[in-house]
Amino acid sequence: MLKRVHVFYSGRVQGVGFRFTTERIALEMGDVYGWVRNLPDGRVEVVAEGEEERLNEFLRRIREGLLKRYIKREDVIWENYKGEFDDFEIRFY
């Protein structure tokens, strides 16, 4: 089932390659679309769309991969699919 996930990561998530690594994971997967950006409050925000199973895999790779040591908190909000993305990119606030 197609879904949308909105995620906020807290911890030491800025200045450590978090956005680049998240984008690389999405591009390697090939079927996760959306964006990642730094927020002024020090968190990183991710919005992604795709099959729910693939989005869970995407989040797992972020949570358990190279970024694991930087994440203190992951707030995940599942939303209805909107179909507004055709790639994955780094955005700027």
Q: Are residues 55 and 76 in contact, defined by beta-carbon separation less than 8 angstroms?
A: no
**Which tokens belong to 36?**
């990642």
**Annotated active-site residue in 4, 12, 19, 43:** 19
Q: Is position 56 annotated as part of the catalytic site?
A: no
Q: Which of 80, 78, 82, 38 is nearest to 58 (CA)?
A: 78
Q: Is position 24 annotated as part of the catalytic site?
A: no
**Annotated active-site residue in 38, 43, 63, 80:** 38
Catalytic residues: 19, 38
